[in-house]
Structure 1
Amino acid sequence: MKYFEINYPYFAIIAANDEVECLEYYKKIIADDLDETEFHDSIESLERTTVINKLASTCGEDSHKVPIGIEEAKKQILESDRSNEPSILALDGSLV
């Protein structure tokens, strides 16, 4: 899997096989009225270690604003790799 950070119109970190799959998944799950030009301008490919560090500082849905930490971040990355399906690893807090 590859990892992508999107910042427009909503922040997300998505695991996908490629940028095309990432775009389709983002449109399906987050913003179906997406301006694709702006999407491509805001997408950034991330290295695995960068994703782990970013995820470690995010808060889980049920963690009461406590960061999930490195071990949980690694676990989420491994699960996304095993599934080989696109998945959202982090999402703009305004959408949760």
Structure 2
Amino acid sequence: MKFYEFIEPYYALIKARDEEAATKYYIEIVAGGDEEFKEILEECELVSDYYAVAKFAQSKGENGEMMKIDEILEVLESDEPELLLIDGSLI
């Protein structure tokens, strides 16, 4: 799995197997429609594992508290696509 960051139209950090899978997941979970696939794909940027893990580890969960290390590792080790971070205005 790799990590992809989207800035526009809403911020998201997504773990997925490739850019296309990350973009489809973004459209499904965050925002957009299939007709916007190409434009959203252009916003998709591959980021390093270290960058993604650092950002994810510093984030707070839905309850406003830092995530526990075992929860972080469970998400990162999963073979499923995962939304790691999302624009706060969408919560």
TM superposition score normalised by structure 1: 0.76
Per-residue CA deviation, residues 13-44 of structure 1 (Å, 9 max, x unaligned), is 00001111111111111113262343233221
Letter in 2 for 1:7: I
Per-residue CA deviation, residues 30-74 of structure 1 (Å, 9 max, x unaligned), is 1132623432332211111111221233222112xx5x37x63x8
Q: 1:81/1:60 Cα in 2 relative to 1: closer, same or farther (>3 Å)?
A: closer
Q: Name the % identity.
A: 33
SS at match of 1:88: strand
C-alpha RMSD of the superposition: 2.2
The answer as to whether partners of 1:8 and 1:38 remain within 8 angstroms in 2 is no
Tell me how far 1:79 sits from its aligned partner.
2.2
| Matching residue of 2:23 | 23
SS at match of 1:52: helix
| Matching residue of 1:4 | 4
Query: Matches of 2:86 and 2:51 in 1, distance apart?
Result: 16
Unaligned runs of 5+ in 1: none
Unaligned runs of 5+ in 2: none
Query: Matches of 2:76 and 2:60 in 1, distance apart?
Result: 21
The answer as to whether partners of 1:2 and 1:17 remain within 8 angstroms in 2 is yes
Tell me the matched-pair count.
90
1:84 matched to 2:79? The reply is yes
| Matching residue of 1:41 | 42
SS at match of 1:84: coil
